[in-house]
Amino acid sequence: MIRVQVSVVIPVYNEEANLAALMGRLLPVMKEMGKSFEVILVDDGSKDNSLNLLKEFAASPNIKVVELTRNYGQHAAIMAGFSIVRGNMIITMDADLQNPPEEIPNLVRVMEEGRYDVVGTIRKGRKDSFLRILPSKIINMVARKITGVSMRDWGCMLRAYSRPVVERMIECHEQATFIPALATVFAKRVTEIEVSHEERFGGKSNYPLRKLINLQFDLVASFSNLPIKLIMYGGILMSFTGVCFGLFLAVARLVYGVRWAAEGIFTLFAILFVFVGLQFFALGVIGEYIGRIYGQVRKRPEYVIENIYYAIEEGDIR
Ligand code: UDP
Ligand code: MG
């Protein structure tokens, strides 16, 4: 396998409106750097014309297109790209031009100068709606806690990884994963730089609230038992409160008599409902983990590659 210096991996799902502009900006940047490179575009089961556009790009050198059999999700698509990557340094980015390709030389420079394993990015002046930014803020806080790595922005996919880190990530075979967090498991030297952020060039976001919540749960559940722990502590606190409250009721009954206690029965109902609700919530969280364990033991492939398109290069033996 012939190595290249820099690989760029881009997941593509229904991005027909953006691909021409993306490649129009990305390729000049890559050529300008004067390093050997490849661009790997992974079609994550797009339903629009993206795949056909991608196949046309694959006719030019330095570009490979991976076609997945269906939609596996952004992180699985990136993993599929990682599986054929030849670069000593690997960069991931989005296809919708929210991550400006012009920032890549910066990433590459920091990566080389500091001999880092991972260079993350912080989106300067983030161009997303409030409803999209708020969950990110929460998840960034949680991610910092559970990975113990003090990165500020986990959601920005414009990131650089060293080859060893990527090789270890593809050995993981996790069903639901969150690549920026997974990388920190293997990375020793990690840093973050600021990059600019743009509006989505065309089309619309592929993350409705439902998918977003799922992704955030992937991040929390695949890297920690935090939710289960929280429930445990919550449970201890609740029973303690329950005991105190029971004592209070007993005393009140003795002091104010039976009638007072009987009239308070609806308060008890209200309390009961709160507790029952919490129990259901707890069950749900445990169920979520069990569901994930079930998914993992089934050992289904996390992605299936249908085809890889590329132009054969001189001296290229594959
Ligand atoms: N994407 C993907 N598979 C999916 C959803 C998204 O490959 O199921 C890709 C998408 O084409 C884009 C990137 O992941 O390159 C980020 O998606 P999007 O811009 O919709 O997310 P947002 O910026 O709204 O978080
Ligand atoms: Mg986007």
- pLDDT tens digits along 90-127: 999 999 999 999 999 999 999 999 999 999 999 998 88
- The b-or-e profile of 277-308 (16+ CB within 10 A means b, else e) is eeeeebeebeeeeeebeeeeeeeeebbeeeee
The pTM score is: 0.85
Residue 93 Cα to ligand 1 middle (Å):
10
- Does residue 175 line the site of ligand 1, with CB under 6 A? no
- Does residue 94 line the site of ligand 1, with CB under 6 A? yes
Q: Answer yes or no: are the C-beta atoms of 12 and 50 closer than 8 Å.
A: yes
Number of other CB atoms surrounding residue 243 within 10 Å: 10
- Does residue 302 line the site of ligand 1, with CB under 6 A? no
CA of 286: how far to CAs of 198, 214, 231, 238, 279, in Å?
39, 15, 10, 18, 11
Q: Does residue 261 have a pLDDT over 70?
A: no
Query: How far apart, in whole angstroms, are the C-alpha atoms of residue 158 and residue 53?
Result: 23
pLDDT mean over 288-311:
86
124 - beta bridge partners? 196
Residue among 78, 69, 5 at smallest CA distance from 40: 78
pLDDT bucket at 262, cuts 50 / 70 / 90: low
Task: Give me the residue spans of the domains in the chain.
Answer: 4-224+302-317, 226-298
**Atom 8 of ligand 1: nearest residue by CA position:** 73
Would you state the CATH architecture of domain 4-224+302-317? Alpha-Beta Complex (3.90)
User: Given the CA of residue 212, which atom of ligand 1 is nearest to it?
Assistant: 25
Residue 158 Cα to ligand 1 middle (Å):
12
- Does residue 201 line the site of ligand 1, with CB under 6 A? no
pLDDT mean over 122-138:
86
Q: Answer yes or no: are the C-beta atoms of 101 and 158 closer than 8 Å.
A: no
Q: Which residues contact 155 (CB under 8 A, 6 or more apart)?
A: 136, 139, 140, 180
Q: Answer yes or no: are the C-beta atoms of 79 and 301 closer than 8 Å.
A: no
Query: How far apart, in whole angstroms, are the C-alpha atoms of residue 314 and residue 204?
Result: 39
Query: How far apart, in whole angstroms, are the C-alpha atoms of residue 220 and residue 226?
Result: 7
Residue 150 Cα to ligand 1 middle (Å):
25
Q: Which residues contact 186 (CB under 8 A, 6 or more apart)?
A: 117, 164, 165, 168, 169
**Atom 6 of ligand 1: nearest residue by CA position:** 74
User: Given the CA of residue 93, which atom of ligand 1 is nearest to it?
Assistant: 15
- Does residue 207 line the site of ligand 1, with CB under 6 A? yes
The 3-state DSSP class for residue 174 equals: coil
- Does residue 205 line the site of ligand 1, with CB under 6 A? yes
Q: Does residue 318 have a pLDDT over 60?
A: no
Residue 13 Cα to ligand 1 middle (Å):
6
Residue 185 Cα to ligand 1 middle (Å):
24
Among 206, 218, 303, residue to substitute to test ligand 1 (most atoms within 8 Å of Cβ)? 206
Q: C-alpha angle 168/305/103, rounded to 5°?
A: 60
pLDDT at residue 142, rounded to an integer: 87
pLDDT at residue 235, rounded to an integer: 80
pLDDT at residue 210, rounded to an integer: 83
The 3-state DSSP class for residue 238 equals: helix
Q: Does residue 80 have a pLDDT over 90?
A: yes
pLDDT at residue 280, rounded to an integer: 82
